[in-house]
Structure 1
Amino acid sequence: MTVTDAPTSSLLERIQPAEGGREIHDPATGELVGRTRQTTVADLDAAVARAKATQPQWAAVSSQERAEALNAAAEALEAHAEELAILLSREQGKPLNGPNARFEVSACVSWLRATASFTLEPEVIVDEESGRSVLHWRPLGVVGAIGPWNWPMMISIWQIAPSLRQGNTVVVKPSGYTPLSVLALIEVLNTALPADVLIAVPGRGDVGERLSAHPDVAKIMFTGSTETGKSIIKTAADTVKRMTMELGGNDAGIVLDDADPKALADDIFWGAFINTGQTCAALKRLYVPESLYDQVCEALVEVAQQSPMGVGLEEQNVLGPVQNKPQWQIVADLVASAKESGARILIGGDPDENATGYFYPTTLVADIDPHQRLVTEEQFGPALPIVKYTDLDQAIEWANELDVALGSSVWGTDPDRTEDVAARLVAGSTWINKHGAIDPRVPFGGAKESGFGVEFGIHGLKEVSQPHVITR
């Protein structure tokens, strides 16, 4: 298969339409970042047709050659890492430093290389005189990837890398809030990949709906809100598509009474405020025993005061704006409702609504009712409710009572006790003395209405493959 040549112009120039297109503005400054082309449903149909036509040839390429292509794509990303990080910071708002833009681009490289190293071998299920059964893992065909605006590059890679590794072709529909980041990512990847194995289709909701319903798309991979996920599931039902759905979360963290507040404060803070709280598997509600409550609150305030928020391209900042105005309003409304309920604001909670950019100050909320809206509804922004408990069983009950269950965490010093509490939590992943610590080798997915299917590692490869048993 022929690999495309790499153009020499800047990425932003290469991905923008010659004229027209929809303007994308920096959520930190309001400045114009660039323009994105808007594909139509007809364009989507053409893209799927190209991907379908190319897929058998890509599937016929050896596993080793596909691994080499992913590694070459990783090298191409490394060569453009700073340019990609700057574009990501301008479009999404996240700072260059901290667990943000440069981190995200680096994670894309790591995930490509890790996925290239995984090999899904046939499994001998039965081998005896009566017969032999071998389970093989075949490509599905065309995978439709629908991504979010919070980690637009990294989550796209989570969808793209395993799909390509297993011989599928991929059609990507990026979020309308952050299309430029994903278009630039795919522009770079395609300098190392054969033509038409990976195609981007930026566009409105009708394009995403058609992708979900398209009869020639074998699987949909979606990361985003539970509400949108339910709509996609319904749309895809008529063609009985395979699906991986990583949906909304409202992750609970439980601090045990033997924890060391000062030692854990930094990790708890960044578990909650990574990407300024705009992460599906961020810590979004923290349960703290009465005996440690004041110490934990004080330690978290200290970390917050030392974590500057501002324009992403300014090197000192590690927290940025909320990516878009609707999400900013959700955060503002939830914090306002907490204030009205009598909760105590430890820091933040007083946004300047006339300021440039969608900045919401880092906010810690104490003395809050465990069933207040800021606790029970996903804020997806820089606000953390800290709930006091006196009975551990009650805290576990509170942690488990919501309809979403993506991640959770337990914080303490006794390994046996933290393991016991972790086993009682309902979630796709539970971390001990950390939160959101994903690894490309370790399966990741949700429970309850946080979705189904898993990503990463060998298990993730199986999710983008058709099991095929041959028995003789």
Structure 2
Amino acid sequence: MLQHDRLFIGGDWVAPAGTATIDVVSPHTEEVVGRVPDGTPADMDRAVAAARQAFDDGPWPRMTMADRAEVVGRLAALYAARQAELAELITLEMGSPITFSQMAQAPQPLGMLQYFSELGKTFAVEDERPGVFGPVVVRREPVGVVAAIVPWNVPQFVIMTKLAPALIAGCTVVVKPAPETPLDSYLLAEMIKEAGVPDGVVNIVAAGREAGEHLVAHPGVDKVAFTGSTAAGRRIGAICGERLKRCSLELGGKSAAIILDDCDLSAAMGFLSIASLMNNGQACVAQTRILASSSRYDEVVQAVSDMVAGQRVGDPADPSTGIGPLVARRQQERVEGYIRAGIDEGAKPVVGGLDRPRDRGWYVAPTVFAGVSNDMRIAREEIFGPVLSVIPYTDEEDAVRIANDSDYGLSGSVWTADTEHGMDIARRVRTGTYGVNMMNTMDPSTPFGGYKASGIGRELGPEGLAAYLEYKSIARLG
């Protein structure tokens, strides 16, 4: 069992203020596999004080962006050497299939470090513009102390969407990992120290909701960057709004994959299996509404059912596993509650259902519903598990209407033999990311975020760096 008895604050490993601990439980075996301190509000106070001092008095914000980029580049090199270790650790913590951890959980955060390191070498901190009374210098300065609050489903990925641009910008950061997945953050802390990031620039305190809300409301925090549920995002947004504190919110999704009549179903299913079921369905961008025309509806239901039924359910550490367990018992029960609701509303489970595939571990049978209308709960609410709904449409106008008829607007896709026509569809669906014959893979160089209840702001790309900068206009005469 992996045990840690310290917190990473001020560049050092320090004893926690309290005695409570967090048990990390394997979703596969239901056994405790790790234990870390449960951070308290007092620990958050210490972490914010360290970040505040590092920002107000330390060298980090006063270094050139290119010099900060060099340090982030060193961190990227250390990260690259420990990808396999990170992948295995995340699979142990939260049940992500090892193939997904090796393909995405570890490499994508590395890609973000590398991208922002390169961007920082050339990004213009100042530019001069002609003003009415003379030249005006527009300057970009770091926003200050950032609270980065991250979920359990892709822990390193989400940490890095915030940490990498914040570091390049010159901010200091307090990271609060989710209590389900704190172990990988200890590995990150080791690399941060080895890379030579100045003391206090990054502080990491795993904790629950009470300490997290204390961090959000802390007067020493200038910006909150949150990824998680829409309900929690509303609460954080309200706290930040009351205090006029900057915030970015990356929240839920209920994305639609539109299958056009000219789609080659056999070719599409391989890609759609990733787009819909990645990470055991625990992905905010998952394409869980499959829209099929009435004329091909039965054919699409069969193709999706065959694809889902072909997924091997089992030990997430086994490379042959396609679907592993959900992160916790409460998540298992939540997803099963949605399956029950779908049945109660009249939808038909053609694959899966309420019979658990394994007696031990927090497994749910991957499920496909047919006969779904877009007003059902399983079509409107984010389930966050391996449950897909196939919804019929009459024509393309109806398909776009159904795709847009959602409280969310995070992702989506269209599947067609005519790529240009697919682009036309993509421009009409109101989501922050979209794919034509693929899932948008969240390239580090392009903005990621959502419309409507999927959040506020964008991460990644130059837009993601801009989220950690304040803009100052300096006019002068002579």
CA displacement, residues 358-406 of structure 1 (integer Å, 9 cap, x when unaligned): 1012111112222111111111100100111122222222211222111
Q: Matched residue of 1:409: which SS? A: strand
- 8 Å contact kept, 1:348–1:361: yes
Structure 2 residue identity aligned to 1:244: S
Unaligned runs of 5+ in 2: 8-14
Superposition TM-score, scaled by structure 2 size: 0.92
- Output the CA distance in 2 between the equivalents of 1:354 and 1:313: 16
Shift in Å, 1:280:
0.7
Report sequence identity in percent. 33
Q: 2:284 aligns with which of 277, 280, 287?
A: 280
- Output the CA distance in 1 between the equivalents of 2:128 and 2:283: 39
- Output the CA distance in 2 between the equivalents of 1:239 and 1:191: 36
- 8 Å contact kept, 1:47–1:199: yes
Partner residue in 2 for 1:149: 152
- 8 Å contact kept, 1:89–1:101: no
- Output the CA distance in 2 between the equivalents of 1:294 and 1:395: 16
- Output the CA distance in 1 between the equivalents of 2:20 and 2:474: 53
Shift in Å, 1:64:
2.0
Check if 1:357 corresponds to 2:358. Answer: no
Alignment CA distance shift 1:436-1:277 (3 Å)? farther
CA displacement, residues 126-182 of structure 1 (integer Å, 9 cap, x when unaligned): 326841123211011110000011101110111111001110010011112212222
- Output the CA distance in 2 between the equivalents of 1:278 and 1:184: 23
Partner residue in 2 for 1:230: 234
- Output the CA distance in 2 between the equivalents of 1:457 and 1:11: 35
- Output the CA distance in 2 between the equivalents of 1:207 and 1:274: 31
Q: 1:138 aligns with which of 138, 141, 145?
A: 141
- 8 Å contact kept, 1:26–1:90: yes
- Output the CA distance in 2 between the equivalents of 1:296 and 1:174: 39
- 8 Å contact kept, 1:246–1:452: yes
Shift in Å, 1:469:
1.2
Shift in Å, 1:352:
2.3
- Output the CA distance in 1 between the equivalents of 2:177 and 2:268: 36
Structure 1 residue identity aligned to 2:54: T
- 8 Å contact kept, 1:73–1:190: no
Q: 1:376 aligns with which of 377, 380, 397?
A: 380
- Output the CA distance in 2 between the equivalents of 1:469 and 1:312: 52
CA displacement, residues 272-302 of structure 1 (integer Å, 9 cap, x when unaligned): 1011110111112111112222332222233
- 8 Å contact kept, 2:129–2:138: no
Shift in Å, 1:450:
0.9
- Output the CA distance in 2 between the equivalents of 1:283 and 1:143: 31
TM-align CA RMSD? 2.1
- Output the CA distance in 2 between the equivalents of 1:327 and 1:450: 20
Check if 1:30 corresponds to 2:30. Answer: yes
Partner residue in 1 for 2:12: none
Partner residue in 2 for 1:164: 167
Check if 1:457 corresponds to 2:461. Answer: yes
Check if 1:265 corresponds to 2:269. Answer: yes
Q: Matched residue of 1:164: which SS? A: helix
- Output the CA distance in 2 between the equivalents of 1:278 and 1:416: 31
- 8 Å contact kept, 2:339–2:354: no
Structure 2 residue identity aligned to 1:65: D
Alignment CA distance shift 1:341-1:66 (3 Å)? same
Shift in Å, 1:439:
0.2
- 8 Å contact kept, 2:340–2:354: no
Structure 1 residue identity aligned to 2:110: V
Shift in Å, 1:13:
5.3
Check if 1:408 corresponds to 2:412. Answer: yes
- Output the CA distance in 1 between the equivalents of 2:230 and 2:104: 26
Partner residue in 2 for 1:366: 370
Superposition TM-score, scaled by structure 1 size: 0.93
Unaligned runs of 5+ in 1: 1-9
- 8 Å contact kept, 2:98–2:316: yes
Q: 1:80 aligns with which of 61, 79, 82?
A: 82
Q: 2:98 aligns with which of 96, 99, 102?
A: 96
Partner residue in 2 for 1:3: none
Q: Matched residue of 2:106: which SS? A: helix
Shift in Å, 1:191:
2.0
Partner residue in 2 for 1:213: 217
Alignment CA distance shift 1:206-1:439 (3 Å)? same
State the number of aligned residues.
462
Shift in Å, 1:123:
5.6
Shift in Å, 1:303:
2.6
Q: Matched residue of 1:191: which SS? A: helix
- Output the CA distance in 2 between the equivalents of 1:36 and 1:241: 30
Matches within 5 A, 1:44-63: 44-55=44-55, 56-63=58-65
CA displacement, residues 296-318 of structure 1 (integer Å, 9 cap, x when unaligned): 22222333233212121122213
Shift in Å, 1:350:
3.2
Matches within 5 A, 1:7-46: 21-46=21-46
